Structure 1
Amino acid sequence: MPQQTPEQYYLDQNSHGKYQYTTLKDIVDNMLLEANEDDSYLKNVKRSKIVNHARQAIRTVSRQAASDVLAIEITVPDTLFWVLPQDYVNYARVSVVVLDEVTGTLRLHALDVNEKINTAIGYLQDNNGDLLFDNLGQILTADSSNGYNLLFKSYSFSGGYQPMLNTSKLSKFGEFVIDERRGCILFGSELMDKEIVIEYVSDGLQADLKEEEITVHQYLRDCIQDWIYFACIERKRNVPANEKQRALNRYKTTLHQCKIARANFDLLQIARAISAQSMAL
């Protein structure tokens, strides 16, 4: 395939940012090339097995080393809850879009986590307080007093000097909580109809996409390939124990290198933070 010229890159919007990423298909094809060598321990390993190990490798390495953050923008519905993306693993930041009256531009302001937003599932009981069960013997449940049934009303500050005010219960821009069991995010009442940006860490697979559609950062490529290689030979009886240990150590080394490479230590930002803190003292 011919090398893409800078002109082609800049004129093709679909190419922007793609150089930093590689596809699952490229990784699998590269492993298959190694498997074709006569002295390779991957010889006779089926493509389907490598693909399965590759998918698990992406999940594992993305969770441990990746710092790629995806972002979606939503409007908070009247129900005050939203179903999280299918590939969601953890959130990085949840913000509300606010108009800056001074500059006239839109800015993101981080929301506060409020663990007091109730996400508990209610158990149904009879008049005597005994649990109710269905025909299969399972406990009947319902959304009773949780945030799915009763909207969470946030505290508001009306202004004026109030010396006895408990400011720990106040939030400047709004509140939310993540319900991981049900895969939802719940918001406080002050955020109804507001634009929200959810930045989250993905499992790296972006749902059930094709091999050529699943992409990972170039920094993770070697680590993922090392994980696949170790997973493929781990239970092979004809592979020496020292080779298995060497493969495991190699994976741990590249994983450590990935964590360092993706940490994004910015000495200038650190210096600014230290300077700002010293000036505040």
Structure 2
Amino acid sequence: MTDIVNNFLLMYQGNHEMINNVNRFKILFHAKRGIQELNYDALNEIKALELTVYDDLKFVLPSDYVNWVKLSLFKDNVIRDLVENIQVQSATQYVQSGSSTFTYDGSNNVNTQTSSLDTSRTDGSLKSIYLNDVREEAVNPGCNNCEDDIYESRIGARYGLNTETANFNPTFTIDKANGVINFDSTMANQQCILQYISDGMENGNDANIKVNKLFEDYLYAYIKYSLLNNKFGVQEYIVNRARKDKQALLRNAKIRLNNIHPSRLLMNLRGENKWIK
């Protein structure tokens, strides 16, 4: 990041350039924004983070998290893929009075408490439509209530399996508002591996921020366009030319980044002549 800013100040800013008298912090800001846009679109830098999920069944998302790629359970030296739960797994519960009105504290904020849904999920009593329900009545189904058939007798586990819920591993839901991943009770005290797309900001440490060499020219063009676009008195055709340069360099970098190795393609084609019995 330091090299990017210094190179821009030396080569693209000065008395004989279209950009002059620009503060360093503005260049640094637009450089970071350009790197973030690259990670959202083209680079998709994937990181892996391993943490232990304790009894609270929560996995705190890292600060540079953008989107998840895969969550896995690491158990018995085997990586097992997890699936996202389609059911609600967590909720906020407001404290209500006897007349069903909300109660407030001294700062006029509504009082909250741990919801019944969260309590059921953490203590293992929450029923699941997935095959990972380890409650006794699910393992040894004895259906006495037809309304509980879908949960307790594992309908579809043997006949007409529903592939959407055919998962025996723990399940999860992502709470983006609170920045955590909520798991079901079968994930307690287990190792979880999160593969996610990073925004490239490296937790705010500018010295560790890096960019692919193929995108270096694009990043300079992005900074140049952003400065000209926000500067007063710049002719519109100059701004449009800078925008077109930025877009063209991004397309070229994407083409160059298509990392197709012949050896990888060969590995995928090795079984094309295999007879299917």
- Given the two structures, how large is their TM-score scaled by the length of structure 2? 0.77
Contact 2:44–2:198 (8 Å) recurs in 1: no
Distance 1:184 1:118 in 2: 12
Q: Give the equivalent residue in structure 2 for 1:252.
A: 247
* Residue in structure 2 matched with residue 47 of structure 1 by the alignment: 24
How many angstroms does 1:90 deviate by? 0.8
Q: Which runs of 5+ in 1 are unaligned?
A: 1-23, 100-105
Match of 2:97 in 1: 126
Which residue number corresponds to residue 66 of structure 2?
Answer: 89
Cα pair 1:57 1:224 within 8 Å, conserved: yes
The answer to whether the 8 Å contact 1:67/1:263 transfers is: no
Post-superposition offset of 1:31? 0.6
Asked if the contact 2:133–2:139 (Cα under 8 Å) also holds between the matched residues in 1, the reply is: no
Q: Residue 162 and residue 265 in structure 1: after superposition, are their counterparts in 2 closer, same or farther (change >3 A)?
A: same
May I ask how many residue pairs the two structures share in their alignment?
Answer: 250
Q: Distance in 2 between matches of 1:139 and 1:279?
A: 66
Is residue 94–residue 102 contact of structure 2 (8 Å, CA) maintained in 1? yes
Say which of 133, 139, 151 aligns to 1:155.
133
Look up the SS of the partner of 1:137 in the other structure: coil
Is 1:69–2:64 an aligned residue pair?
no
Q: Deviations over 1:209-262 (max 9, x none)?
A: 1x3222222233222222111111112234321111111112222233344444
1:242: which partner in 2? 237
- Counterpart CA distance in 2 for 1:274 and 1:245 is 49
User: Percent same amino acid at aligned positions?
Assistant: 26
- 1:144, CA displacement in angstroms? 0.7
Match of 1:141 in 2: 112
Instruction: For 1:190-269, list aligned pairs within 5 A.
Output: 190-209=186-205, 211-262=206-257, 264-265=259-260, 268-269=264-265
CA drift at 1:192:
1.7
Deviations 1:24-75 (A, max 9, x none): 1111011101244432122111111111111222222211222210111111
Cα gap change, 1:134 to 1:242, in 2 (>3 Å): same
The residue identity in structure 1 corresponding to 2:118 is G
Compute the displacement of 1:85 (Å). 0.6
Gap regions ≥5 residues in structure 2: 127-131, 142-156
Q: 1:218 to 1:145 in 2, by over 3 A?
A: farther
C-alpha distance in 2 between matches for 1:109 and 1:279 = 30
**Cα distance between partner residues in 2 of 1:63 and 1:257:** 17
CA contact (8 A) 1:35 1:44 kept: no
Residue 115 (structure 1) aligned with residue 89 (structure 2): no
Structure 1 or 2, whichever has the larger Rg, is 2
Amino acid across the alignment from 2:211? V
Cα deviation for residue 82 of structure 1 reads 1.6
For 2:235, give the aligned amino acid.
Answer: P
For the Cα contact (< 8 Å) 1:81–1:148, is it kept in 2?
Answer: no
Report if aligned partners of 1:124, 1:140 keep a CA contact under 8 Å in 2: yes
CA contact (8 A) 1:41 1:239 kept: no
Opposite residue 102 of structure 2, the aligned amino acid is L
Following TM superposition, by how much is the alpha carbon of 1:149 offset from its aligned partner in structure 2, in angstroms? 7.2
Does structure 2 retain, via aligned residues, the 8 Å contact 1:220–1:258?
Answer: yes
Q: Is the 8 A contact 1:89 1:202 kept in 2?
A: yes
Does the residue aligned with 2:186 lie in a helix, a strand or coil? helix
CA distance in 2, matches of 1:269, 1:171: 31
Is the Cα–Cα contact under 8 Å of residues 35 and 45 in structure 1 kept in the other structure?
Answer: no
What secondary structure is seen at the aligned counterpart in 2 of 1:55? helix
